[in-house]
Amino acid sequence: MSDQLRPETLALHTGIHRSQFNEHSEAMYLTSSFVFDSAAQAAARFAGNEAGNIYSRFTNPTVTAFEERLAVLENAETCIATSSGMSAILACVMGLLSAGDHIVASRSLFGATVNLFNNILKKFNIETTFVSATDASAWENAVRPNTKLFFLETPSNPLTEISDIAELARIAKKANSWLVVDNCFCTPILQKPLELGADIVIHSATKYLDGQGRVLGGAVLGQRDLLMDGGIYGFLRTAGPTLSAFNAWVILKGLETLTVRMETHARNALQMAQWLESQSNVTRVFYPGLMSHPQHDLAKRQQRSGGGIVTFEVKGGKDAAWHVIDSTRLISITANLGDAKSTLTHPATTTHARISQEARDAAGISDGLLRIAVGLEAVQDLQDDLARGL
């Protein structure tokens, strides 16, 4: 498919390989293995002398279609699909790193990612230094001779801090390290980290890429040699956390509406953020699209809009925050995000409950903080729903 086409077109027309039935919607290939014409063909496939599918832990046509479509959206040479966002991160570190290597990572990462780096990789003698998402000099100072990888999410969860991808890419390059960006919050519709100098993009396809909260999935994107020869694909093919054809099909169809969904999520979120700023019981609103956001200018340069996540702090701490949650009738009380339906969560007692009060205070995650992943509902209905508890 020509790369002259625009993202909304590519999201619909990339990765179509019709079968002999000429179906219009993409077929789903639910099969674990593939049949060979002859013993010689089987041998040629296994030897890598002939292209083609062998077994769905290695490749599957539906998974390939999803990979091709996401790759053009991220402007990546190669995409490798995984069974979840966490297995995308796992494949990345297992493929690229060895015992004795060191990671510099943002302090504001998804909880399971922190857990993976801190508790699991540490067992294999891979150490991580966590630094401020927004202080580039802290990243530079954390570099050691054995540093191999920089890892960040921007905007961060839940405080929507913005990391300067281009600046950190320069520092990573100087440190002979790869920069990995988890692009879950923005999706390629709002931000393309590879164009800003990142080496690898990670996705939890479970979130906006699916967009309707149905299945788990993930992806690793970047240059072909790094992904294929760097050991990431080899890890997946051998260890097995590959994406199922069913999930790939669901997310592939989700990508078709990604542009319109992200635009609406962001438009609704900006209206919600502005409205929340005017509420007397709301002490602070964190949203990159607001002028009051400390990195509003950087966000404007780096992202096409502020995205769909708004975090705000209410007067009265935990009791007041829980009251807002328990007064809703429409918004779902769930820690998931990126769904067409709005979701509301209290980070201090859910997603960030396992870290100490001190660490939460240091990270700015106060007891009065609430995070809303703004969905596709009418904004007025969402405002009415929150107003009940505010």
Ligand X SMILES: *Cc1c(COP(=O)(O)O)cnc(C)c1O
When asked if residue 206 is in the footprint of ligand X (CB under 6 A), the reply is yes
Write out the two tokens for 44: 């040629």
Write out the two tokens for 134: 């927004």
Read off φ and ψ for residue 361, nearest 5 degrees. -60, -45
**Is the Cβ of residue 71 or residue 202 nearer to ligand X in the bound state?**
202
Query: Minimal distance in Å, beta carbon 100 to ligand X?
Result: 26
Write out the two tokens for 88: 């995308």
**Is the Cβ of residue 209 or residue 282 nearer to ligand X in the bound state?**
209
Binding residues for ligand X, rule CB under 6 A, total 15
Report the site for ligand X in 235-294 (rule: CB under 6 A). Answer: none
Read off φ and ψ for residue 347, nearest 5 degrees. -55, -40
Write out the two tokens for 39: 């013993």
Q: How many CB atoms lie within 10 A of CB 125?
A: 11
When asked if residue 204 is in the footprint of ligand X (CB under 6 A), the reply is yes
When asked if residue 161 is in the footprint of ligand X (CB under 6 A), the reply is no
Query: Minimal distance in Å, beta carbon 89 to ligand X?
Result: 7
**Is the Cβ of residue 165 or residue 175 nearer to ligand X in the bound state?**
165
**Is the Cβ of residue 14 or residue 87 nearer to ligand X in the bound state?**
87
- List strand residue ranges (DSSP E) for 112-217, in order: 127-131, 147-153, 178-182, 200-204
* 309 neighbors 161 (Cβ within 8 angstroms): no
Report the site for ligand X in 135-154 (rule: CB under 6 A). Answer: 153
Query: Minimal distance in Å, beta carbon 112 to ligand X?
Result: 6
Query: Minimal distance in Å, beta carbon 82 to ligand X?
Result: 9
When asked if residue 182 is in the footprint of ligand X (CB under 6 A), the reply is yes
Which residue(s) pair with 102 in the sheet?
Answer: 127, 147
**Is the Cβ of residue 45 or residue 192 nearer to ligand X in the bound state?**
192
When asked if residue 68 is in the footprint of ligand X (CB under 6 A), the reply is no
Which residue from 110, 117, 235, 275 is in contact with ligand X, where contact means CB under 6 A? 110
Strands 282-286 and 309-314: antiparallel
- Rounded-to-integer distance, Cα 336 and Cα 206, Å: 9
**Is the Cβ of residue 143 or residue 189 nearer to ligand X in the bound state?**
189
Question: Contact region for ligand X (CB under 6 A) — 84-92, 135-143, 315-323, 358-366?
Answer: 84-92
21 by Cβ neighbours in 10 Å (0-12 / 13-18 / 19+) ranks as: exposed
Which residue from 65, 70, 90, 184 is in contact with ligand X, where contact means CB under 6 A? 184
Angle, vertex CA 241, rays to CA 236 and CA 247, nearest 5: 120
The binding site for ligand X (CB under 6 A) comprises 84-86, 110, 112-113, 153, 157, 182, 184, 204, 206-207, 216, 218
